[in-house]
Amino acid sequence: MNENESFDLIVIGAGTGGNGVARMAAAAGWKVAVVDSLPYGGTCALRGCDPKKMLIAVTEGVDWARNLNGKGLEAQTSVKWSDMIAFKRSFTDAMPGRIEAGFEKAGIVALHGQARFTGRETIEVNGETLRARHFHIATGARPMYLNIPGEEMLTTSTDFLELPDRPDRVVFVGGGFIAMEFAHISKRAGAREVTVLEMMERPLGNFDPDLVGILSEATTNLGIDLRTEAKVLRIEKDGPGFTVTHETPEGKQTINCDLVVHATGRVPNIEHLNLEAAGVEYGRNGIKVSPYMRTTNPAIFAAGDCADSGPNLTPVSANEGRIAGKNLLAGKDEREVNYPPIPSVVFTLPQVASVGLSVAAARDKGLAFDTHFEKTAGWYSSLRVGARCSAYKILVENGTGRILGAHLIGPGAEEQINLFAMAMGAGLTANRIKGIIFAYPSYASDISSMV
Ligand SMILES: Cc1cc2nc3c(=O)[nH]c(=O)nc-3n(C[C@H](O)[C@H](O)[C@H](O)COP(=O)(O)OP(=O)(O)OC[C@H]3O[C@@H](n4cnc5c(N)ncnc54)[C@H](O)[C@@H]3O)c2cc1C
């Protein structure tokens, strides 16, 4: 690389929100470089959704065997942690090389190092200055700082996915989706003591309270110590392990454990970028972007978790990147990003899934609606797999029959929620959904009975 080499576009961050933009521009004949300080692939493919769900696939086997025990399935299963991590690596280890090879084929220059703006058209990487007409920033998110003593002893979700051995006594700080999913993985993999410490009155604050209540009961029945209104005050070294002190309504309590995992949330990863030098404004929620994904410097775009835009989910990053790429190549604000109903899933067992408005949000908007809420453990699709917890809550607008929100717990929720998202995006009413003929028996076929 020559000092001051110039590009049409430099993409900062080789994850979901960045890679597509680089490819689009290269396909249009632009001279493009991508830079990342970590192996190429980003959070989802290497340190988030994909690896996590490979571990969940293994623990699903445990759940399946337990649920059908005494129903004809005799064998009981257990998890060999090191093999499970090796299985995950069979996917993640190959990914950065595959992405780089794809970039090379597309004529994209792949750079490694931390990028930092030195001006409106320049960045510095490994002491070298690179110039570009345009930049696209997709630097993702990082775990937030907790500002508590002993914070440096926390294990991140990234480290958790690489643990060579199964933790025996593990504490999760926070009760969001990462904590709940990883706690379920740990317990089914055979960890002796698993504790989740959530500061608020319930975990998973963005999900329906009734369904979270059902999940909380299932979590406790699994043997996880789920503590709410438990604010972590400090972490101390205790021999080879740790002591976690937390405040509860009953006073201060401590837990001894082998591992403490950070699961309190993630914030935009932008503090090392020196955005001021580029004239790119940002706030607490990330880089300020227009509906066209353009930053306050018109030559610079941003997308994904680092931007002050849609929810921090992989498909949202990909979609925002696509819109940024279209406007970048068009040379004008041609395509506005819009957010259809976005489904999200907590991949615990049972899964919890949600799309659209919660009951509280629909009330706040002054909407008139019926709430269809039912526990479905007695339904055929739950009985067939021995699932003990399943339920749905669907909000149907009075008069129009529009689906305002869908909230599900149980087997199949991760796919059923996509059907609700599709139906809501297409404006299908409850009556239209009832009229659709789904393959039977399938989880999809349940949805016409939910509306
Ligand atoms: C444990 C976990 C589980 C998750 N599970 C799900 C899930 O099930 N479903 C879902 O939809 N979402 C999930 N997410 C969220 C999802 O992973 C993110 O929303 C998505 O990956 C964001 O993509 P991105 O391109 O914006 O950022 P990232 O994929 O994080 O990419 C940012 C890249 O920028 C690089 N970078 C940062 N700063 C610099 C710099 N200064 N110079 C050079 N490079 C830099 C980083 O190294 C990184 O590779 C999960 C996240 C975590 C942590």
Please check whether residue 355 lies inside any domain of the structure: yes
- 11 CA from centroid of ligand 1 (Å): 14
Query: What is the Cα–Cα distance from 139 to 221, expressed in whole angstroms?
Result: 39
**Reported confidence tier of residue 75, pLDDT bands at 50, 70, 90:** confident
Last residue of a domain, one of 213, 235, 264: 264
- Domain assignment present for residue 17? The answer is yes
**Distance (Å, whole) CA 279 – CA 286:** 14
Residue 423 lies in a domain: yes
Closest C-alpha to ligand 1, atom 49? 42
Total structural domains within the chain: 3
| Average pLDDT over every residue of 131-146 | 97
| pTM (two decimals) | 0.96
Instruction: Identify whether 336 is part of a domain.
Output: no
Residue 279 buriedness (CB in 10 A; 0-12 / 13-18 / 19+): middle
Average pLDDT, stretch 32-49?
A: 98
Residues 423, 424, 427: CA angle, nearest 5 degrees: 85
Q: What is the pLDDT of residue 175?
A: 96
Of all protein residues, the one whose alpha carbon is nearest to atom 33 of ligand 1 is: 13
Task: Report the Cα 19 to chain-centroid distance in Å.
Answer: 18
Distance CA 177, CA 8 (A): 39
Same domain, 382 and 410: yes
Identify the weakest region by mean pLDDT among 5-9, 31-35, 348-352. 5-9
Query: What is the Cα–Cα distance from 13 to 37, expressed in whole angstroms?
Result: 8
Say yes or no to pLDDT of 2 above 70.
no
Q: Is residue 394 part of a domain?
A: yes
Do residues 10 and 136 share a domain? yes
Q: Are residues 419 and 303 in the same domain?
A: no
Q: Which helix (H) or strand (E) segment is 371 a member of?
A: strand 369-375
Same domain for 134 and 276, yes or no, is: yes
Which contiguous run of DSSP H or E holds residue 324?
helix 314-330
Q: What is the mean pLDDT of the chain?
A: 97
- Residues 6+ positions from 96 with CB-CB distance below 8 Å: 39, 40, 41, 46
In terms of domains, do 108 and 256 share one? no
Boundary of a domain, candidates 215, 233, 264: 264
* Predicted pLDDT of residue 276: 98
335-345 pLDDT, tens digit per residue, is 999 999 999 99
Looking at the fold, whether 311 and 362 belong to one and the same domain comes out as: no
Q: What is the predicted pLDDT for the residue at 76? A: 83
Is the domain of 86 the same as that of 165?
Answer: no
d(CA 210, CA 360): 12
Q: pLDDT value at position 50? A: 98
Domain that residue 170 falls in = 151-264
356, 369 in Cβ contact below 8 A? no
Same domain, 137 and 157: no
Testing ligand 1's pocket by substitution, the residue of 314, 323, 346, 351 carrying the most ligand atoms inside 8 A of its CB is: 314
Query: What's the CATH code of the domain at 203?
Result: 3.50.50.60
Instruction: Please list every protein residue whose CB sits less than 6 Å from any atom of ligand 1.
Output: 12-18, 35-38, 42-44, 48-49, 52, 114-115, 138-140, 157, 178, 269, 272-273, 304-305, 312-315, 317
Q: How far is the CA of 44 from the centre of ligand 1 (A)?
A: 6
Boundary of a domain, candidates 330, 352, 381 = 330
Please report where in the chains the tokens 């205790």 appear, as a residue: 238
First-to-last CA distance in the chain? 59
Backbone angles phi, psi at 260, to 5 degrees: -120, 125
Q: Which of 37, 44, 418 gets mutated to test ligand 1 (max ligand atoms within 8 A of its CB)?
A: 44
* Same domain assignment for residues 222 and 243: yes
Q: Judge whether residue 4 has pLDDT over 70.
A: no
Cα-to-centroid distance, 276 and ligand 1 (Å): 23
Closest-CA residue, ligand 1 atom 52, reads 48
Whole-number Å distance, alpha carbon 100 to ligand 1 midpoint, is 17
Q: Are residues 138 and 155 in the same domain?
A: no
Write the residue with the smallest CA distance to atom 17 of ligand 1: 44
C-alpha 387: how far from chain center: 25
Within a domain: 335:
no
Q: Determine the distance separating the centroid of ligand 1 and the alpha carbon of 13, expressed in angstroms.
A: 9
Q: Is the pLDDT of residue 3 over 60?
A: no
The model's pLDDT over 399-427, given as tens digits with 9 standing for 90+, comes to: 999 999 999 999 999 999 999 999 999 99
Query: Side chain identity at 336, as an amino acid letter?
Result: E
Mean pLDDT of the region 272-287: 97
Candidates 317, 313, 285, 314; CA nearest to 301 is 317
The helix (run of H) or strand (run of E) holding residue 91 is: helix 81-92
How many helices (H) and strands (E) would you count in the chain? 15, 23
The residues near 67 (Cβ < 8 Å, ≥ 6 apart) are: 385, 386, 387, 388
| Domain presence at residue 271 | yes
3-state SS, residue 271? coil
